[in-house]
């Protein structure tokens, strides 16, 4: 039984690493600016095709950024499938958990797309102060009790699984949804920074992916979150004082 559990865990990690690697390769091969991801030349004439292209690209990006920090949770979930009636049932539960988790993150691409289109219509001055406000708000959220609560659930895979356990693939889907909500609650502010301040450029993608993983996996991840919060708030203040920094932040990532 333990050998089967260990084998399932190894297979799960191998599959997750494979999906993550493919996601990163796909993301590195495609343009990362808002306009390129959406396929838009004119901000005023977005189409359904533009939106679908953007959301698909966003889904790939979320897979690349979020799966590494979710591996401990998903791997432990696979290891705890000892009572599954068969290998197929075990695989179905783990697949449902992972698929729902990634799908919820992919769906967030819809409001992100709307926000990206809206940003293309504002003046340079308005954009600069919007970026400043987003950075300060994100920094404050990083220091908030809500951030701590969500991060605590993400950092405690065993506690989460024991507290939310449901059997079968439907249970896996339910648990994947619950974990995705905590993860979204933990990381939404960083994703907004990625879009608004970083223009979804590769340097910001790499930075935020590393921060998310460090927050959830490293022994003192809470302090990583707080340090990032202070840094974002200070950067926001700097942009508010010197609005030209906003253009520099976005231009340097594209």
The confidence score (pLDDT) of residue 176 equals 95
pTM of this prediction?
0.85
Q: CA-CA distance, 226 to 212, in Å (whole number)?
A: 12
The confidence score (pLDDT) of residue 58 equals 92
The confidence score (pLDDT) of residue 66 equals 93
CB 204, CB 194: distance < 8 Å: yes
The confidence score (pLDDT) of residue 38 equals 42
Q: Which parts of the chain register pLDDT below 70? A: 1-6, 8, 30-45, 251-254
From 99, 74, 242, 234, select the one nearest 161 (Cα to Cα). 74
Can you give the residue range of the structural domain that contains 21?
2-251
The confidence score (pLDDT) of residue 238 equals 96
The confidence score (pLDDT) of residue 225 equals 95
Total count of domains within the chain: 1
The confidence score (pLDDT) of residue 34 equals 46
Which residue is associated with the tokens 């979930």?
Answer: 77
From 116, 111, 117, 110, select the one nearest 56 (Cα to Cα). 110
CB 242, CB 164: distance < 8 Å: no
């Amino acid at each position: 039984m333990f050998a089967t559990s260990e084998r399932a865990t190894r297979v799960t990690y191998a599959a997750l690493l494979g999906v993550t690697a493919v996601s990163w390769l796909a993301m590195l091969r495609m343009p990362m600016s808002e306009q390129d991801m959406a396929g838009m030349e004119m901000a005023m004439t977005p189409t359904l095709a533009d939106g679908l292209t953007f959301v698909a690209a966003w889904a790939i990006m979320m897979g690349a950024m979020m799966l590494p920090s979710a591996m401990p949770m998903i791997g432990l979930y696979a290891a705890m499938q000892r009572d599954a009636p068969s290998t197929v049932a075990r695989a179905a539960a783990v697949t449902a958990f992972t698929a729902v988790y990634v799908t919820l993150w992919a769906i967030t691409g819809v409001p992100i797309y709307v926000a990206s289109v809206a940003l293309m219509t504002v003046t340079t001055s308005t954009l600069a102060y919007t970026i400043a406000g987003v950075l300060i708000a994100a920094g404050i959220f990083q220091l908030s009790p809500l951030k701590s609560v969500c991060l605590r659930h993400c950092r405690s895979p065993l506690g989460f699984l024991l507290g939310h356990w449901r059997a079968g693939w439907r249970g896996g889907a339910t648990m994947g949804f619950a974990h995705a909500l905590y993860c979204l609650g933990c990381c939404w502010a960083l994703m907004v920074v990625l879009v608004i301040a970083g223009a979804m450029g590769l340097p910001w993608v790499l930075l935020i992916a590393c921060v998310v993983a460090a927050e959830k996996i490293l022994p003192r991840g809470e302090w990583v979150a707080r340090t990032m919060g202070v840094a974002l708030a200070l950067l926001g203040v700097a942009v508010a004082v010197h609005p030209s920094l906003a253009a520099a932040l976005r231009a340097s990532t594209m």
